[in-house]
Amino acid sequence: GEPATAPLPATDNSLARGQTLFGIYCSVCHGPQGGGDGPLGRDSYLPETAVLNGARVQNLADGDIFLVITNGKNRMPSLSEQLSPGETWDIVNYVRSLSAVTAE
């Protein structure tokens, strides 16, 4: 129930890597800004947890987001075979940065 690795700091490099990885693995469902409006997400039913820049996901602990990416949940598949733990933490850091999008 806990990540096996410690979180990586949200440095500029981590955020840049996370943004790139998010574009490859996540944006197809979650959309480029985490609004749940990716090409696959907007045409199918996705729970509000697919909206990454909203309060429900932004209020989760970093470790919880890490575990969802790693293990999958509901319709989201596990990405444990595609991503290293460090890459997963980069995505967690990037997902955290998406909360600024809703504040604008």
Going from the first residue of the chain to its last (104 residues), give the mean pLDDT of each consecutive group of 10, the final group possibly shorter. Answer: 83 97 95 87 68 91 95 92 97 91 50
Give DSSP secondary structure letters for 29-84: HH-TTSSS-STTTTTS---GGG-TTSHHHHTS-HHHHHHHHHH-BTTBPP-TTT--
Tens digits of residue pLDDT in 67-80: 999 999 988 899 99
**pTM value > 0.85:** yes
